[in-house]
Amino acid sequence: MVGWFDDAASVAGVAIGSQVMQTITGIILGLTTGITVLIGIATGAKNDREAAATIGSAIWLFAIIGVAATLFMTGLHGKIAEIMHTPAEAMTDTKHYILICSSGIPFIMGYNVVCGIMRGLVD
pTM of the model: 0.81
Count H helices, E strands: the chain?
6, 0
Q: Which residues in the chain land under pLDDT 50?
A: none
Give the residue among 73, 86, 105 at the shortest CA–CA distance from 10.
86
CB-neighbour burial class of residue 65 (10 A; exposed 0-12, middle 13-18, buried 19+)? middle
The whole-number pLDDT of residue 60 equals 95
Distance between first and last Cα of the chain: 38
pLDDT at 5: 72
**H-helix segments, 76-90:** 77-83
